[in-house]
């Protein structure tokens, strides 16, 4: 299961990072750098927090090759093909989120960490790479202000941490469930409660000018 979810998540996030780099008009080096940090950044942060050797990243040579191939293909694709990808970007992003969240939760449970650590491992593995990608691209991290995103990664961690999903079939079912919830949140624009100080300050300023 580690191998399956790692490959799925790596391809989805590597291509996502590569396309963001091309949108920002980075050169080919920037495309590969942004794609790699998107695909592997979350795993590095997770390893630091749950006590896994960060150097274990270098044992994933096959995933690096898969990521490089995926990014190269994305870089060479015709523009209209990339536009098609962008129209379904949320779906592939949901695939990466679900795959990496489950992978992170499985790592944490195998190391016998408490539920809180499983939740954090699932969330950071799922969203960490995307946050680094957006920061390097000079964007506000979408995962922190867009439709509900990190919550679904934490849900995967919770369900695995409490032992509800263990077998291969159950994990594949959870994989599909997280993708479904993420896409529903995109379609219906579900958002977490937010408070805008900027809006309140603007209203207060207008009210003061009126008085």
User: Which residue has tokens 């896994």?
Assistant: 52
Task: Say whether pLDDT at 156 is over 90.
Answer: yes
Question: In sequence order, which ranges of the chain are alpha helices (DSSP H)?
Answer: 2-23, 28-50, 61-76, 79-87, 89-110, 115-136, 150-161, 168-187, 197-210
What pLDDT is stored for residue 75 in this prediction? 92
| Rounded CA separation 22/85 (Å) | 13
Whether the per-residue pLDDT at 203 is higher than 80: the answer is no
75 vs 21: CA distance, rounded Å:
10
End-to-end CA distance of the chain: 65
Packed helices 150-161 and 115-136: angle between N→C axes, nearest 10 degrees: 160
pLDDT at position 201: 61
pLDDT for 206: 61
Residue-by-residue DSSP string for 133-152: HHHHTT---GGGTSSS-HHH
CB 104 within 8 A of CB 157: yes
Where does residue 178 rank: exposed (0-12), middle (13-18), buried (19+ CB within 10 A)? Answer: buried
30 confidence band (pLDDT: 50, 70, 90): very high
Average pLDDT over residues 57-75: 88
Mean pLDDT is lowest, of 6-20, 80-94, 155-169, for 80-94
What total number of domains does the chain contain?
A: 1
Q: DSSP string of 33-44?
A: HHHHHHHHHHHH
Q: What is the pLDDT of residue 191?
A: 83
The predicted structure's pLDDT at residue 175: 92
> In angstroms, rounded to a whole number, what is the distance separating the alpha carbons of residues 84 and 79?
9
Across the chain, mean pLDDT equals 84
Range 70-93 average pLDDT: 82
**Residue 27 lies in domain:** 2-210
**Tokens representing 5?**
């979810």
The answer for residues whose C-beta is within 8 angstroms of residue 46's C-beta and 6 or more apart is 52, 104, 107, 108, 121, 124, 125, 128
Query: Counting Cβ atoms within 10 Å, is residue 211 exposed (0-12), middle (13-18) or buried (19+)?
Result: exposed
Structure tokens at 163: 């032992």
> Where residue 6 falls among pLDDT bands split at 50, 70, 90?
confident
Q: Above pLDDT 90, what percent of the chain?
A: 33
């Amino acid at each position: 299961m580690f191998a399956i979810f790692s490959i799925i998540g790596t391809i989805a996030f590597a291509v996502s990072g590569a396309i963001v780099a091309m949108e920002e008009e980075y050169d080919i080096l920037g495309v590969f750098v942004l794609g790699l940090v998107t695909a592997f950044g979350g795993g590095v942060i997770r390893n630091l927090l749950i006590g896994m050797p960060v150097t274990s990243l270098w044992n994933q040579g096959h995933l690096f090759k898969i990521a490089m191939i995926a990014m190269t293909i994305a870089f060479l694709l015709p523009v209209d093909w990339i536009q098609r990808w962008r129209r379904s970007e949320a779906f592939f992003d949901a695939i990466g989120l679900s795959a990496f969240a489950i992978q992170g939760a499985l790592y944490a449970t195998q190391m016998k960490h408490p539920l809180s650590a499983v939740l954090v491992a699932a969330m950071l593995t799922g969203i960490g790479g995307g946050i680094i990608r957006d920061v390097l691209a000079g964007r506000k991290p979408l995962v922190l202000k867009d439709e509900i995103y990190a919550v679904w990664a934490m849900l995967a961690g919770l369900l695995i941490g409490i032992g509800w999903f263990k077998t291969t079939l159950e994990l594949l079912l959870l994989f599909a469930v997280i993708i479904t919830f993420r896409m529903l949140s995109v379609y219906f624009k579900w958002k977490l409660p937010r408070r805008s100080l900027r809006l309140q300050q603007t209203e207060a300023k207008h009210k003061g000018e009126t008085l």
